[in-house]
Every structure is written in structure tokens, then in C-alpha cells.
């Protein structure tokens, strides 16, 4: 069992989802892990130190000034004795303090002092999760290597519905088990494409699409976390480069293909980029000006098909493509998989109103030569983790 003998430091912060932490302690211990808990003042409003201590069979840590060995830097020892620190629930407040590097209570002091992996299971109102400040905090934490578990879509304690609900206990346990089984893809190499491409019209204007790169970047990060040596070839995005990943930034489809060829061979190829199908045949040297004669006539030519090119060249032992569709999602993806000659095709609905392009959620249909799987709505990080787990199973079955 991946969690057998692992030492988990669980930080329980103050949200209604704190009640799940009691079951989480129980389940982690059932999987062979030892659990030591830090309970914040807010967390103590929802669960009692006595109940946490009874389930963990260990002392509960609450106040930095109550550490008996603080003269010997007890908070440092507490932060580093664990194999992993898990914040669950992770409220908007504690995530903001983590992002800001604050250390104004025992929980944040431990988190700032640790040199061990940190995972967090966010839990908050959907409006709080979608707020620009929370998004900025999440980006900062992700850039530092903090891994998120969820949140998931569902009904909130406040009666609203949406993303922000804390992941269920079995999913959190599975995420921790996946972390400690991170070497599943050790020794493998992976190439991921991500983001849009920008195809120049003139020195000022270009053709693009609405892709944010969030899904491709999440996949690259998940592959690296699973032990794969990962190269990310990214079109223009506003995202930070994922930790542990070698990133090459490009603009056009032709640049992306050249970078992919340079990165070959790879065991795993995931083409998640939304590559422009066409480009302007002749890019103007100077900015096109309005001259009263009407808009310019642009002549287009096809861009290279990166997925098809890589699949035909046999560049990867497993080649995965994405089919961003607005209608007949699965049917079109089936046809696309055959036309591209790739192993798997991940179809998703990007029609107006879905919020897939630029958003944090995705709904995937995985299609291979023998079967189809329809996954429930998930965050893009959860999609990445599930895909990487399937990739690991593929190679393990081949061994």
C-alpha cells in the first residue's frame, strides 16, 4: 500500500468541511499512515481537539506558544518530521496566507518552515473560489509546487452550487496514495503541447483562439509529478511554467512542430494545444492600414498537423490527442482519432456556455481503439491526474 508507514501532518482549518477531516484521519490510518494534526482556531470551531486526538491517537497541536520544545525550534521539527503536509479543508483564508508567506499562527508557521511536499484540499463558497484574488493565490501556490486536490462541483453548505466543494475523503486518500506512488512513470519521457498558437497577419495582428493552456499545463505538471521527464511546448499563455517541467515557449504552429521534433523521441506524447488550423499565406511586413478601399483580403493556407505528424513518425509509444468540439462530440472525436492515427483521443465540449476554454473545469470522453470512457465534470487538474493514472496503467500493463 502506497501510504503504509507514511507520516502525514494534517492541517485542519476553519470551514464547515472540517467535519470531513475526522473521517479522513480514520481512512488514512486504515491505509497504514500515521496522522499528526494541527488544528487552527477556526478549525476548532467545527471539530474538537478531543475528537481529533482520539482518531489520530496523537497529540493535537493548536498554538505555537504551547509547544513544549519550542526552545529547540519545535515548529521546525513538527514541519519536517512528516513525509507530507496536507491542508484539509483549505479555506480561502489559509490559502491566501500561504500564498502571502504569512506565519501568524502555528499552521502557517509550519507551512512556511517546511521542506516537505504540501497538498491542499480547497473548500469555500463558489464565488470565493472564482474570485480573482483566490485565482492569483492559487497560481502563486501552484508555481511553488503546492498540489491541489479538488475542489469539486457540488452543492455548498450555504445552498449555492458550483466549484468550491471539498473533495470527498476517498478522493483525497487516492490523491495522497498517488503522490507516494509518484514513481509510476519514473524513467519515462513525456512531451506535452499546450495553449493556443498565434499566427501573424502583420507585425501587430494575429489569428488565435480562446485556449488558456490550463489543461495542457496541468497534464505536464501531473506527468512530472508521476516521475516522467517532461518537456512542455507551450503557445502564448499567461500561466507560470509548471514546476519540475522543462518548458519551451513558441508562438506559431510551425514553431511548435519544430520544437516537438527537437524534443523527440518520447515515450508519451500528449497534444493538448489548440493549434490554429490555418495561417495567412503571406504575412505583411508592415501594419496593414485602412485606406478607404475596404478591409484587406487575406489568403489562408493550412498549418502543419502536429498530432498527425508525430503519430505518423512513431515518435511516442503512446500518443494522445485532444478533440475540442462544439457538436457531435464523441462521433467527431472517433473520426479524428482514426484520421490522426493516434492511440487515444480525449474529446471535450468547447461550445459557447460550457466555459471549457479559459475555465477551470472540463468534461472528457476518452476514446481508444477498443472502448470509450465518459468522465464526470472535473477540474482540469483532476482531469490531468486521472489521465496520468491511465497512462501509468497503460505502461504497467505492457510491462
The Cα 267–Cα 225 span in angstroms is 16
User: Which member of 158, 260, 271, 342 is catalytic?
Assistant: 158
Residues 174, 82 contacting (CB under 8 angstroms):
no
Task: Name 301's bridge partners.
Answer: 279
Residues in the chain: 399
Q: Report how far Cα 197 is from the mean position of its chain's Cα atoms.
A: 21
Which residues does 91 contact at the CB level (< 8 Å), separation at least 6? 13, 14, 15, 42, 122, 123, 124
**Does 342 participate in catalysis according to the annotation?**
no
SS3 track for the chain? CCCCCCEEEEEECCCHHHHHHHHHHHHHHHCCCEEEEEECCCHHHCCCHHHHHHHHCCCEECCHHHCCCHHHCHHHHHHHCCCEEEEEEECHHHHHHHHHCCCCCHHHHHHHHCCCCEEEEECCCHHHHHCHHHHHHHHHHHHCCCEECCCEEEECCCCCEEEEECCCHHHHHHHHHHHHCHHHHCCCEEEEEECECCEECCCCCEECCCCCCHHHHHHHHHHHHCCCEEEEEECCCCCCCCCCCEEEECCCHHHHHHHHHHHCCCCEEEECCECCCEEECCCCCCCCCCCCCCCCCCCEEECCCHHHHHHHCCCCCEEEEEEEECCCHHHHHHHHHHHHCCCEEEEEECCCCCCCCCCCEECEEEECCCCEEECCCEEHHHHHHHHHHHHHHHHHHHC
> What's the chain's Rg over C-alpha atoms?
23
- Could you give the residue numbers annotated as active site? 158
Amino acid at each position: 500500500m502506497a501510504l503504509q508507514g507514511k507520516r502525514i501532518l494534517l492541517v485542519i482549518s476553519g470551514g464547515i468541511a472540517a467535519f470531513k477531516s475526522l473521517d479522513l484521519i480514520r481512512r488514512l490510518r486504515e491505509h497504514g499512515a500515521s496522522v499528526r494534526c494541527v488544528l487552527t482556531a477556526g478549525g476548532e470551531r467545527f471539530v474538537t481537539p478531543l475528537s481529533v486526538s482520539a482518531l489520530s491517537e496523537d497529540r493535537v497541536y493548536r498554538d505555537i506558544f504551547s509547544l513544549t520544545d519550542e526552545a529547540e525550534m519545535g515548529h521546525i521539527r513538527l514541519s519536517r518530521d512528516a513525509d507530507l503536509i496536507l491542508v484539509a479543508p483549505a479555506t480561502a483564508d489559509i490559502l491566501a496566507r500561504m500564498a502571502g508567506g504569512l506565519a501568524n499562527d502555528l499552521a502557517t508557521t509550519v507551512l512556511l518552515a517546511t521542506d516537505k511536499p504540501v497538498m491542499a484540499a480547497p473548500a469555500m463558497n463558489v464565488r470565493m473560489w472564482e474570485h480573482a484574488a483566490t485565482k492569483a493565490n492559487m497560481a502563486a501556490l501552484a508555481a511553488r509546487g503546492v498540489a491541489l486536490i479538488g475542489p469539486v462541483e457540488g452543492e455548498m453548505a450555504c445552498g449555492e452550487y458550483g466549484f468550491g466543494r471539498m473533495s470527498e475523503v476517498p478522493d483525497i486518500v487516492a490523491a495522497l496514495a498517488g503522490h507516494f506512488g509518484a514513481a509510476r512513470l519514473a524513467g519515462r519521457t513525456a512531451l506535452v503541447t499546450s495553449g493556443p498558437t498565434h499566427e501573424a497577419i502583420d507585425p501587430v495582428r494575429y489569428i488565435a483562439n480562446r485556449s488558456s493552456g490550463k489543461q495542457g499545463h496541468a497534464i505536464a505538471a501531473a506527468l512530472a509529478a508521476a516521475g516522467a521527464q517532461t518537456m512542455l511546448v507551450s503557445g502564448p499563455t499567461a500561466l507560470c511554467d509548471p514546476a519540475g517541467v522543462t518548458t519551451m515557449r513558441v508562438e506559431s504552429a510551425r514553431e511548435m512542430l519544430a520544437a516537438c521534433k527537437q524534443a523527440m523521441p518520447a515515450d508519451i506524447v500528449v497534444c493538448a494545444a489548440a493549434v490554429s488550423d490555418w495561417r495567412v499565406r503571406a504575412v505583411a511586413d508592415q501594419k496593414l492600414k485602412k485606406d478607404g478601399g475596404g478591409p484587406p483580403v487575406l489568403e489562408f493556407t493550412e498549418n502543419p498537423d502536429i498530432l498527425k505528424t508525430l503519430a505518423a513518425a512513431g515518435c511516442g509509444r503512446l500518443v494522445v490527442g485532444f478533440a475540442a468540439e462544439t457538436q457531435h462530440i464523441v462521433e467527431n472525436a472517433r473520426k479524428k482519432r482514426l484520421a490522426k492515427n493516434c492511440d487515444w483521443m480525449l474529446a471535450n465540449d468547447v461550445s459557447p456556455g460550457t466555459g471549457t476554454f479559459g475555465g477551470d473545469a472540463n468534461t472528457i470522453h476518452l476514446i481508444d481503439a477498443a472502448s470509450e470512457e465518459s468522465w464526470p465534470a472535473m477540474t482540469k487538474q483532476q482531469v490531468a491526474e486521472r489521465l496520468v493514472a491511465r497512462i501509468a496503467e497503460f505502461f504497467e500493463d505492457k510491462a
